[in-house]
Amino acid sequence: MVNGRNVERRTILKAAGATAATLGLAATTGCGGDGGTSADGTVTIRYAWWGAEDRAERINKTIALFEKKYPKIKVKTDFQPYLDFWKKFNTQASGGNPPDVFQNAIGFLRKYDAKNVLLDLSEQVKAGNLRMDGFRAGLEKFGEIDGKLLGVPVGSNSMALVIDKPVYTRAGVKPEQGWTWDDFDAAMKKIRDKTGRAGDSGMYGVMYLYDPYLRQQGKAFFTEDGLGFTEADLTEWWTKAKKGVEEGVYADPKKVAQIKPKSAVAAELAGSEFTWDNFTVRYTSEGKSEYGLAPIPTTDGKKTGQYLGSLMLSASKRTQHPKEVAQFIDFMVHDPEVAKIMGYDRGVPATQAQYDAYKPADPVNKAIAEYEESLVEAGVLEPITPHPEGADICEAAFLRIAEELALGKRSVDDAVKQFFTESKTALGS
């Protein structure tokens, strides 16, 4: 799963240093043309993902292991920053030449299924080329849409509150599982009053926080057919965000924009920030403090509305090598050595075998594992809400319009109306 704001920040952080390497790798490994079969029976498949140099280095190591185990399967690779990846993928898919296997996310499954791009991997499971057992916390169901297996999870993550631990300690705030939004609001004021820092970076554009908030109330950001909330719901959410800025409990959006791509927490503008748990590593690399993970506030003290999100591997319906693609996916999600190489780069490993194989030694990754274990033990995890075709466009609109609102370019009413107008068009409703 991805969060637009944080994906953008993380991508920008890495892109500057990785651009030359990215272009170099793309040029040397190749990304076009159909995968084929050589005279000696060797098959070539194309694999594409988004990310930057550090992910590429890890993935190339895993591919070397795969090719050693399957010497008759060669893998051509291609990677891009997040936004560039989807631009290129759209062009390839429209031209009937998508990669054989590629990194994917929940917001794109229905979109590309409707465009007849994605291979239903169920037949490969039946044929024994792809195993769908041994996954953690129900993740094996994550890529199933309308009875079709369109994606296989490679890792998991969930929303969390990243906190500057010394700041929270000075303010006397100790977040615990089951704390409410009222508790959270009181904590933000304590942090402001006792430390002189905003309590949080702000919640205008965090779509994947707004979704659990809605789910706590029996709603959701998406239903199978469209949006699962009203204009009145969003007006309430964005009005609260605006009020928080005015009261100084949320960081000044203009200052937050000025320090990008650095986070507001690492820049000491805020004491905490909602994001995906596996993004925690960035705060340690950016900031000078000690950071930790805290649970999502609740409406009733029980229901968090959380689920495990995941990046996935999907296959092209046009691939000439479905068996080999399935074997590649199976290797990437089950082989223990892959987990030791990838670590938590794409989230906590999705299968138990890989989860057991990689035991992080550093405090940050240990905290990520402990956080997800705490969610399972607390029994708060639920199935993810299905995302309709057009969800990716809605997500981009939510992020853009929320930023315009935060920077004072739109009123709350105007922002809400604009979001619903664009979403109705994207969703065909």
Residue 139 burial (C-beta neighbours within 10 Å; 0-12, 13-18, 19+)? buried
Q: Contact 187/175 with Cβ under 8 angstroms?
A: yes
Q: What is the DSSP letter of 387?
A: P
**pLDDT confidence of residue 200:** 98
| Beta strand pairing call for 312-315 and 159-164 | unpaired
As a whole number, mean pLDDT of residues 373-395 equals 90
Q: What is the pLDDT of residues 242-280, one digit of tens each?
A: 999 999 999 999 999 999 889 999 999 999 999 999 888
Q: How confident is the model at residue 36 (pLDDT cuts 50, 70, 90)?
A: low
Q: Which two tokens stand for residue 29?
A: 């490994």
In the predicted structure, residue 27 carries a pLDDT above the cut 70: no
As a whole number, mean pLDDT of residues 307-315 equals 93
Contacts of 413 (CB under 8 A, 6+ apart): 235
As a whole number, mean pLDDT of residues 316-333 equals 98
What proportion of the chain, given as a percentage, has pLDDT over 70?
92
Are 4-152+318-345 and 159-306+385-427 in the same CATH fold? yes
Q: Contact 268/151 with Cβ under 8 angstroms?
A: no
Give the 3-state secondary structure of residue 277: helix
d(CA 210, CA 220): 9
Nearest to 217 by CA among 304, 327, 333: 304
In the predicted structure, residue 116 carries a pLDDT above the cut 90: yes
Q: What is the pLDDT of residues 68-110, one digit of tens each?
A: 999 999 999 999 988 899 999 999 999 999 999 999 999 899 9
**pLDDT confidence of residue 1:** 46
Task: Give me the architecture of the 159-306+385-427 domain, per CATH.
Answer: 3-Layer(aba) Sandwich (3.40)
Cα 396-188-170 angle, rounded to 5 deg: 125
| Beta strand pairing call for 101-104 and 312-315 | antiparallel
Q: What is the pLDDT of residues 214-246, one digit of tens each?
A: 999 999 999 988 999 999 999 999 999 999 999
In the predicted structure, residue 3 carries a pLDDT above the cut 50: no
Dihedral sign for Cα atoms in the order 307, 310, 313, 315: positive
In the predicted structure, residue 21 carries a pLDDT above the cut 50: no
Q: Which two tokens stand for residue 123?
A: 């037949």
| Beta strand pairing call for 152-153 and 159-164 | unpaired
In the predicted structure, residue 28 carries a pLDDT above the cut 60: no
Nearest to 129 by CA among 407, 392, 414, 319: 319
Q: Where are the domains of the chain?
A: 4-152+318-345, 159-306+385-427
Fold annotation for 4-152+318-345: D-Maltodextrin-Binding Protein; domain 2 (3.40.190)
CB atoms within 10 A of CB 20: 10
One-letter identity of residue 244: G
Torsion angle, CA of 1/394/4/62, rounded to 10 degrees?
A: 40
Q: How confident is the model at residue 370 (pLDDT cuts 50, 70, 90)?
A: very high
**pLDDT confidence of residue 54:** 83
Q: What is the DSSP letter of 421?
A: H
> Please, which residues bridge with residue 159 across strands?
276
In the predicted structure, residue 20 carries a pLDDT above the cut 60: no
In the predicted structure, residue 5 carries a pLDDT above the cut 50: no
